[in-house]
Amino acid sequence: MMKKAKSLLALILAMLIAFGGTICAFAAETAETEDNGAVETADAIGLDSSIKGKISDADDEDYYALTIGDTTGSGLVTVSLAHDVKTNADPVMSYFVVTATDSDGNVIDYVKSAGTDSKVSFDFSVNTGVYFIKVEMGNVLDETLEYTLSAKINKTALIEKEPNDTTSQATSLKLSKKGETNLYYGAITDGDVDYYVANFTSPVLASFGIYNTASKTGNYKATLIKVVDGIDGETIQKIVGSIEIKDGEKVKDSPVFGVNGGIYFLKVEGVGASTGGYQVRIFAGSSSSTDEYEYNNEEKYANLLNKGSFFTGNIFDTNDVDVFKFKAPKKNNGYNVTLADFDGNKEVVNGQWTIEIANENGDVISATTTVLNSEKVTVSTDVLAEGTYYITVASGNVFTGETYKIDLDEKKKSEVEDDKDDGITSFDEFIANIKAIDWSGFWKNFEGWFEYINIIGIIKDIVPGIVSFLSDLVFSKV
């Protein structure tokens, strides 16, 4: 019995040692295998593991394949590289360049170790598939350099989830708010488009931004799209506005705009041949009833501007317009539409704007274009027929993206009276107007008219006397 017990104990110990050895082997660092100088011969690197390698010269490159399986799913991968630092290292001296690419060879991001850096890392979003990590030498060419490469994944990070090339596949985006920034990592590959979807449950002031936070910067365009009601209950997508970040820029934010709730899509695409990583976010803050809300680029979706009230608005770009509408009752005195800047100086228009007032048929009633950095401008109408009228605000030739304030007021009766022909206001003015008439021609025609109707010979002799009498009577009064 004791022998059997000892044998069983030995077996258990052997299993534990074997199992422990397996764990140690998994946790231990592995070494690169040459030749791994191409993607076809890349060494596999696992998540939460590390691998040792070395670069012997400028032509040496080490490739590693990182496979993200279905069980792992999407997440944010952090790739780190550690190495020894040379004594008295030159700050401009780079040791390694580490680059991440997708399976098609599109560069997602890269990082350089230089100077006194002993460890560098970068993050990028991943979905199911194979990614490649390339390690190559920097400008240190006089000796073999060793390094340790590792990779780990954060599955709770905010990232795009492929496929998200259409609105129906859009990645759900959590709105940022004061004290809570939700930045989403994404990556654009060749011919790729990324869609995100956000739901505004109430009217808010919003903005969106795109960031070149990776070492590899690029040209990217972010476009906000609003889902609106179309014909026969169908929904259609309307562009609210776009922003574009340039290669080398770190951040690009949109103007602040109002949204009236609903579904919005954020579309991200590369400009030109740009590929790589980026970050995006949509911010939602508090709003008021006086904020213009998008989408309002067409008369059908115009914001209602009541008499005696105002809106604040902003134009995204030269393609954006803001449309407001107001209703004129049967009796009105005409209207004044005033546009001014919305910063500390209410009397100035910092941007250049075109303002039009049109009726329901599209006939322009009044319009003007402000001069850049001019005083506030007012566009007026005469008395209007009963109906709905539309005010369109667009950028002029000089686009500045400034926030504006637009007011609608009915004219006062005194303004209407001033606009009318004053006519004769006194007896003296009446006499002056009489004297200004060319009476000679009038009386000649008057006499001719009397002669024309004098077809009865009996009264022919008295016509000149009547004419003379009337002439003397009138001119004696004057």
Residue 23 has pLDDT above 60, yes or no: no
What is the predicted pLDDT for the residue at 67? 96
Average pLDDT over residues 302-311: 93
Residues 105 and 92: their CA atoms lie apart, in Å, by 28
Q: Lowest-pLDDT range, 139-153, 154-168, 264-278?
A: 139-153
Pick the closest to residue 259 from 332, 219, 316, 307 (CA basis): 316
Name, in order, each residue with C-beta under 8 angstroms of 417's C-beta and a sequence gap of 6 or more.
none
What is the predicted pLDDT for the residue at 340? 83
What is the predicted pLDDT for the residue at 24? 36
User: Taking a C-beta distance cutoff of 8 angstroms, is the pair 404, 413 a contact?
Assistant: no
For residue 70, whether the previous peptide bond is cis, meaning omega lies within 30 degrees of 0, is: no
Tell me the two tokens of residue 64.
Answer: 């590693």
Q: Is 320 helix (H, G, I), strand (E, B) or coil?
A: coil
pLDDT digits (tens, 9 = 90+) for 385-396: 999 999 999 887
Residues 190 and 461: their CA atoms lie apart, in Å, by 108
For residue 301, whether the previous peptide bond is cis, meaning omega lies within 30 degrees of 0, is: no
Q: Is 368 helix (H, G, I), strand (E, B) or coil?
A: strand
Average pLDDT over residues 252-259: 89
Q: Lowest-pLDDT range, 74-78, 197-201, 298-302, 417-421?
A: 417-421
Residue 18 has pLDDT above 70, yes or no: no
Interhelix angle for 439-453 vs 463-477, to 10°?
A: 150
Residues 98 and 84: their CA atoms lie apart, in Å, by 16
Beta bridge partners of 282: 208
What is the predicted pLDDT for the residue at 356? 96
Split at pLDDT 50, 70, 90, the class of 197 is very high
pTM: 0.73
Split at pLDDT 50, 70, 90, the class of 99 is very high
Residues 95 and 98: their CA atoms lie apart, in Å, by 10
The residue whose two tokens read 């070149």 is 212
Name, in order, each residue with C-beta under 8 angstroms of 191's C-beta and a sequence gap of 6 or more.
none
Pick the closest to residue 391 from 403, 374, 407 (CA basis): 407
Residues 109 and 120: their CA atoms lie apart, in Å, by 13
Residues 319 and 223: their CA atoms lie apart, in Å, by 12
% of the chain with per-residue pLDDT over 90: 50
Split at pLDDT 50, 70, 90, the class of 47 is very high
Q: Is 34 helix (H, G, I), strand (E, B) or coil?
A: coil
Q: Is 439 helix (H, G, I), strand (E, B) or coil?
A: helix
Residues 247 and 117: their CA atoms lie apart, in Å, by 25
Average pLDDT over residues 41-49: 95
Pick the closest to residue 86 from 99, 73, 96 (CA basis): 96
Tell me the two tokens of residue 92.
Answer: 């401009």
Split at pLDDT 50, 70, 90, the class of 6 is very low
Pick the closest to residue 200 from 166, 181, 167, 176 (CA basis): 176
- Average pLDDT, rounded, for the chain: 82
What is the predicted pLDDT for the residue at 11? 42
What letter represents residue 206's amino acid?
A
Pick the closest to residue 132 from 36, 273, 35 (CA basis): 36
Other residues' Cβ atoms within 10 Å of the Cβ of residue 446: 14
Q: Is 413 helix (H, G, I), strand (E, B) or coil?
A: helix
CA distances from 476 to 119, 167, 215, 463, 473 (A): 113, 90, 100, 20, 5
Other residues' Cβ atoms within 10 Å of the Cβ of residue 1: 5
What is the predicted pLDDT for the residue at 22? 34
Between 420 and 114, name the one with better pLDDT. 114
Q: What is the DSSP string of 140-158?
A: --SS-EEEEEEEEEETTS-
pLDDT digits (tens, 9 = 90+) for 325-368: 999 999 999 999 998 876 645 555 666 788 999 999 999 999 99
Pick the closest to residue 140 from 91, 72, 211, 185 (CA basis): 91
What letter represents residue 198's amino acid?
A
What is the predicted pLDDT for the residue at 326? 97
Residue 287 has pLDDT above 90, yes or no: no
Q: Dihedral through CA 152, CA 155, CA 160, CA 166, nearest 10?
A: 120
pLDDT digits (tens, 9 = 90+) for 203-226: 899 999 999 977 888 999 999 999
The residue whose two tokens read 């579904």 is 263
Q: Dihedral through CA 148, CA 151, CA 152, CA 155, nearest 10?
A: 170
Residues 140 and 136: their CA atoms lie apart, in Å, by 11
